[in-house]
Structure formats: structure tokens, C-alpha cells
């Protein structure tokens, strides 16, 4: 995806899951500002999703917000697939960003919660890649999976969250081989780029004390990297980029 239009003059199309808020919103905005038509999913945040859709429609030809529960992969992927095929007929970029961040420890793990984590972090990205692989191959497209440093350094109080992100990490490597040579597949493992709500200031400072660059990241840092991977990163595939200000080396 070296530009915003194909050799036939058609605009390139990006799909971002979990695109109404925080990091996802920054990714959607970046891709749209650079000329892509966009579709993005949301679950909560109806007002944010509609506001973003309406804003984007003032600057790009097509922008669609679709409510989809990616903890129910089969129905969600079917709905998303119908939208992309009917409204766009092509797909150049798939960003698997939707996430669920719920705590659980070994003593209180419930299968229902564990399955929600695996559904949104592993099964939905897998099924979206399966559904859209023909379009992505045809377009010479790009897949970016949003990971987490906790996939490598798990926190026991977020047991199944960390394990499911590790599953997506491994899936990224397999998909890169499966979809080559037409499609690149990479992962981004951010450090702190959007603090959880009510995250204690003392804990923030403790974390930042181990970041060589001395600051937290931003959603825009992530969005710029996504855009690079979908434009200038054509010879990168199967890579997990730790976007953490150096935290992973300390």
C-alpha cells in the first residue's frame, strides 16, 4: 500500500476492529487522514462511534461504524464480512485491535471469562483473516495485530488476558507464513500508550522509571507505526515490534 489509491484509481480500504476509542480511534483517524476509506467496529461507545463516522465522512468518501461483539466471533465476522463485501468490495488493511482487559487469577478463573478473552484476541482475528484472505491477497494487503508486552511478561492477576494475547502473538507468526508472499502480517506490542482508567499515579511513575525514553507512549505513536507497516514496511512480515520506549530491554 504505497499510496491511498490503487493503480486503477480506487481508494484503498482499511478495517479496524475496536476503532471508536483510544488507540483504535487514533489508528482509524490516521488511516482516514492519509486517504483510506475505512470501516471500524465498536461494541460500547455508540456516541463516540457515530461522532467519528460523521467526522470522517466529511473528509473521505466512505466511512462506516459497525457494532460487532467480537467475543461472539462467528456472528461478528459474518456481519463484518457482509459490510466490507457489499460496501467496498476490497480490503487492503486489516487491523485487529479490539480487546478485553479483565483481571483474573488462578484461584478465581472462570471458563466463561477465559473464553471471552480467547474469542476476542485469538478467534476473531483468525476468522477475520480467513474471511478476508482472498481480498487481502488480491490487494497485496497488510494485517496488523495489536498485541501487548504482557504476552511476554505476563501478570498473574491478568492470567487469561495475557495468555490470549500470547496466542495472538504466535498466530501472527503463523499467518505471516500462511499469507505470504501477497500479504504482510505483523504485530505491535505497545507499552503504556493509554493508561487504564483510575491507574494510580504512583504506579505510572514507577513504570516510567524503567522506560529509557522517559515517557509514556501515545495512541498516535501506535497509529503512525500502523501506517508505516501498511505503506513503507512492505519487506517486513512476521515481526513483533515492541513499541515501548525501550521498556522491554530494562
Q: What percent of the chain has pLDDT over 70?
A: 96
**Predicted pLDDT of residue 207:** 87
Q: How many helices (H) and strands (E) does the chain have?
A: 8, 7
- Please state the separation of Cα 2 from the chain's center in Å: 20
Region of 124 (left: φ > 0; alpha: ψ -120 to 50; beta: rest) is alpha
Asked whether residue 6 carries a pLDDT value surpassing 60, the answer given is no
Lowest mean pLDDT among 89-98, 108-117, 178-187, 193-202: 193-202
Confidence of residue 171 (pLDDT cuts 50, 70, 90): very high
Confidence of residue 3 (pLDDT cuts 50, 70, 90): low
Catalytic site residue from 101, 161, 207, 227: 161
Asked whether residue 5 carries a pLDDT value surpassing 60, the answer given is no
pLDDT digits (tens, 9 = 90+) for 59-89: 867 999 999 999 999 999 999 999 999 999 9
What one-character-per-residue DSSP string does 27-90 give?
HHHHHHHTT-EEEEEESS-HHHHHHHHHHHTTTSS-EEEEE--TTSHHHHHHHHHHHHHHHTS-
Torsion of CA 226, 19, 68, 112, to 10 degrees: 80
**Predicted pLDDT of residue 2:** 46
Q: Does the global pTM surpass 0.85?
A: yes
pLDDT digits (tens, 9 = 90+) for 199-208: 788 888 988 8
Q: What percent of the chain has pLDDT over 90?
A: 84
Confidence of residue 194 (pLDDT cuts 50, 70, 90): confident
Lowest mean pLDDT among 17-26, 118-127, 202-211, 236-245: 202-211
pLDDT digits (tens, 9 = 90+) for 30-52: 999 999 999 999 999 899 999 99
Instruction: Quickly name the fold that domain 13-249 has.
Output: Rossmann fold (3.40.50)
In the chain the first and final C-alpha atoms are separated, in Å, by 35
The answer to whether 101 is a known catalytic residue is no
Taking the alpha carbons of 46, 48, 49, 54 in that order, is the dihedral positive or negative?
A: positive
Amino acid at each position: 500500500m504505497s499510496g491511498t489509491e490503487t493503480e486503477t484509481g480506487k481508494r484503498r480500504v482499511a478495517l479496524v476492529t475496536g476503532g471508536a476509542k483510544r488507540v483504535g480511534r487514533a489508528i482509524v483517524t490516521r488511516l482516514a487522514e492519509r486517504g483510506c476509506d475505512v470501516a471500524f467496529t465498536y461494541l460500547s461507545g455508540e456516541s463516540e462511534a457515530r461522532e467519528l463516522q460523521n467526522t470522517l465522512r466529511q473528509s473521505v468518501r466512505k466511512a462506516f461504524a459497525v457494532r460487532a461483539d467480537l467475543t461472539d466471533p462467528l456472528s461478528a465476522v459474518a456481519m463484518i464480512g457482509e459490510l466490507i463485501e457489499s460496501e467496498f468490495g476490497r480490503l487492503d488493511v486489516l487491523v485487529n485491535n479490539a480487546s478485553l482487559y479483565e483481571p483474573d487469577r488462578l484461584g478465581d478463573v472462570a471458563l466463561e471469562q477465559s473464553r471471552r478473552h480467547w474469542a476476542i484476541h485469538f478467534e476473531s482475528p483468525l476468522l477475520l483473516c480467513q474471511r478476508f484472505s482472498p481480498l487481502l491477497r488480491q490487494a497485496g494487503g497488510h494485517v496488523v495485530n495489536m498485541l501487548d508486552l504482557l504476552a511476554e511478561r505476563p501478570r498473574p492477576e491478568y492470567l487469561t488476558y495475557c495468555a490470549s494475547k500470547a496466542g495472538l502473538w504466535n498466530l501472527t507468526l503463523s499467518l505471516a507464513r500462511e499469507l505470504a508472499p501477497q500479504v504482510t502480517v505483523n504485530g505491535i506490542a505497545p507499552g503504556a500508550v493509554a493508561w487504564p482508567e483510575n491507574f494510580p499515579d504512583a504506579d505510572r511513575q514507577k513504570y516510567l522509571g524503567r522506560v529509557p525514553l522517559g515517557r509514556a507512549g501515545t495512541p498516535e505513536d501506535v497509529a503512525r507505526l500502523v501506517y508505516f507497516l501498511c505503506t513503507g514496511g512492505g519487506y517486513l512480515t512476521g515481526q513483533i515490534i515492541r513499541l515501548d520506549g525501550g521498556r522491554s530491554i530494562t
